[in-house]
Structure 1
Amino acid sequence: MTERSKEQEQGGQVRELLATRADEVSLPDGWADRVLRDGKRAVGRRRLAATTAAVAAVAAVGVLLSGLPGTGEQPPASRPEWATADSVPQALRKMPVGPDTDVPYGTRGEQGKGALRVMLGGRAIPIPKEYTGLRIWRAGDRGFVYLADGPGDVSVVVHVDADGTSTELERTAKGEHTTQLNVSEDGRFAAWTVHPYEGRSQVVKRADLTTGKVGSRSYDDIDSVHGFAGDDVLINWDARVQNIGSLDRDGTPWPSADRDGGVEDYSVASDTVLLSTSDGCMRAYSIAQPDNQRWKVCDMEDVHFSPDGQRFVALREGGYVVSDTSSGEVTGGLWSVPSVHPQDMAWEDDDTVLLELAEAKPARTKDGMIAPIAPQYGPSYLVRCHVEQERCELVDTGGPVKAFPSSSS
C-alpha cells in the first residue's frame, strides 16, 4: 500500500469516528468534514501527516465534549453575527470561534462605536474620552497599566487594578512626555521614562503597583526602558544594556558595551536576555553570566517570551514562529497567511498565544494600479493559537479591537 493510500485510509477512519461522535451530541450535519478541513489549519508551515491530523481531530472532539475552556465551545456552524460580517477577513471567517480572553484589550463598544474602553475579565473599563494614543501593558493578576496622551499636551500613566480601580501614576509637566513604559514579569512593578520634547530622556520612574509608590532618578542621555531583571530596571543607554536596579541603588552591571554593532532592542524573561543588534542578528545571554553567549540567530525580530520563559515567539518573514529559549531553534509556526498581517501578540498562558491581526490591502493610485507605498490595514481582530495543538480560533471579542497589550518583555 502506498503512503498516500495509507493516509486516505486513516483519514476515512477519522472522518467516520468524528461523524459518529458528532451524532452523539447532535452537532450539525457536515461538522466532521469541517473539523478535518479547518481543524488541521496550518498554524505553522510544517506539513501534518494524516496520523497527526487524526490525533488532533479526535482530541479536538474530546475536549469539545468535556466543555474545557479555550477550545471553541461553539461548533463551526454556530457563529456570532459579528464574526460573519464582510469586514472580517475571509481567512478568519473560516475559523472556529473561541471564548473571550481575560487579557485586557481596547475596543469601542457595540459594533465598534462609542467611547474607548478596555475589557478586563468581562468588565468594561471606560477610558476618559479626552485621552488618545492608548497603549496597554498587562500587569499579571494586578490588572493593567496604560499610557495615553491627555489634554494640554501631556502624557498620563494609569494603573487599573483587577477590581477596576484606577490610580494615576504619572502626569507629565508641560514640555515633557512619556513614550517608553514596561511592566515586570510578575506584574508588580511598572517603569517608564520622562522625556523633554527637546533632548533625550532625563528621568526614569518605577512604581510599585501594590502600593502605588513611585520612585524616580535622573540620568543623562538614557534612551528607553525595555525590561526588568526581577525587580531591577534594565534600560537602553547609548546602545548598551544597563541595570539601574530599583532606582535607589545601582544593580549588578550587565557588561554589554562590546556587543557587535550595538544593541537596538532586547527582551528579558527569567534568567535569559535576548539582544537584537544593529547587524540584524539576535543573541541570547544569561543574566547571571552575561559574557557567555548561548546562541545567535539572524532572521528574527519582535520577541515575546512565554510566561515560564521556556519558549518565545518572534516575527520571521512576515509571520510569527515559536522557538526554544535554550537553543533558539524554531519548533513551530503560528501564522503565515500573507493577506492577514500580524499587528501585535501576547501570551495568554504558557501554551496559548493571542495574535492581533488585520487584513493588508494594497494602496492604489487613482487609476486602480497598486501604489509602491505601504499597504492600508483594515480593522484588527484577535486570534487565539494553541501552540502544542497547532490550532487557531477567532476570539469572541464582539468585534474588532482598538488596542492590545504591549509585551512586558
Structure 2
Amino acid sequence: MSRAPTGVSFASLALNGRRRLRVSVRRRSGRPASRDPGVRGEAGRDGAGGSARAVRDAHSEHGRRADGGGAQAGAGERGCRPAGDRASGRHARSLPRGGRARERRSPGLHARTLVSRAVALLDRAIVRLLPAVPRPLVQKLSARYIAGPSLADARRVVAELNAQGKLATVDVLGEEITQASEAEAIADEYVAALDAFERDGLDANVSVKPTGLGLKLDYDLCKRNIERVIAAAEPTNRFVRIDMEDSSTTDDTLRLFRELRDEGHARVGPVLQASLRRTVADAESLAGASVRLCKGIYVEPEPIQFRDDEAVRVSFVRALEALLDGGCYAAIATHDEWLVEQALRLVRERELGPEQYEFQMLLGVRPELGDSLVQDGHRLRIYVPYGSKWYEYSLRRLQENPKVAGYIAADTLGRLLPRR
C-alpha cells in the first residue's frame, strides 16, 4: 500500500517551484471507465440511454436532462450493496500508515508529523499578514480560485470547464448574512443563475450555503429560500447541493436535507466533512442519498474534530466506504492524491460504473490531478464560486484554512520563478 502524502503545503510547493505534478491515475485505477456519452451538458435530453442512466439521474448530480419519470422509476433498482455486507475488518487495509494504532507509529511518520507542524506554523504566519495585503493583490491571488464578481464570469468559467469535459457546481458567495432581505437576494441570484445555465446549455448545478439563505436568522426562512432554488432547478433536472458549514449548523443542515427529501425533492443532497468525529455515523444514516464527502476546512473544538491529518484521512476512507455500501451516489471531493487512490480502489472493489460516483475539486486547485481523472473517464465536477462578496470569501477561507493560504502563496511564487 502506498504511503500517505504529508499534504499540500507552502514549503513543499515552494521548493518544487514550477514543477508540474506527474500523476497517472490511469495506472492505478486498473481499467479505465468507459466514457459516458452524457458527460456534456446536452446528453439524455429525452431520457434515452437505458436503465443505468435512469438510475443515475435519480440520485446523482449528473444526467440532469433525462426524463424525470424514468429517473424516479429507477430510484429503487440500483444494484448497490446494503450497509454491513462487508466485514469491518477491511477498514484496516484502507488506512494510511500510522492510522491503525498510534503506539505503533514509525519513525518516518513521526518525522513527517514534525515537518507538517513546521509547515503549519509557516502557513499561519502567511494568514496573519493577509489584512495588510492590498485588496487588488488579494484579488490577483484569488483570481484562479473564484470565477469573478458577476454571473457573466461564472457562465464564462463554466463554459470553459464544460469544453474540457468537466462538470460544474456553482456557489453564489454570501454566508452568515444578517438580514432576511440579503438571504432573499442570494436566492434570487441562484434562480437567475439556473435560468442562465439553461439558456446557455451549460452543465452546471448549484451549491447553496444555509447561512447565506438565512439559517442563522430563521430556520423556516432558510428552508423557504432553498425551496425557491429547488423550484428553479427541478424543471431542468438540475441538482441542488446543500453545503455543510461549521459544526453549529450540522444538525440543522441534515434536518433540512431530510425534510426536503421526505417532501419528494429527489435532486438534493448534503455534504459531510471527514474531519468531524460524527461523520462515519452520519454517512451510515444517509443510505441511498447523494452525498458529497470532503475533509472539511472549519476549525472545531478537539472533542468533536480530528486534528491529525492522518486521522482525517482514516475518517474519510471509512465514511466513503459507508456511503458506497449504503447505496449512496458519492461525490468524492478531495485534492489528496492518496485519497483519490483509495477512492478508486473502493470503487473498483464494488465494481461500480462511472455513473455511480464522481470526483469534485475546487476551481484552480490541483488541475493536473483533475485532468488525469477526466482523461481516464471519471466524472469530475468543479466547484465554481462567484459573487460580489469575493473579498470577504477569500479572506475568510484563507483564515479558516491556513494550508490554502500557503498553497496560494506557493503557487504564486512558483509562477513568478523563472523556469530552469
- Could you tell me the TM-score, scaled by structure 2's length? 0.28
Higher strand share: 1
Higher helix share: 2
- Could you tell me the TM-score, scaled by structure 1's length? 0.29
Structure with more relative contact order (C-alpha pairs < 8 Å, separation 6 or more) = 2
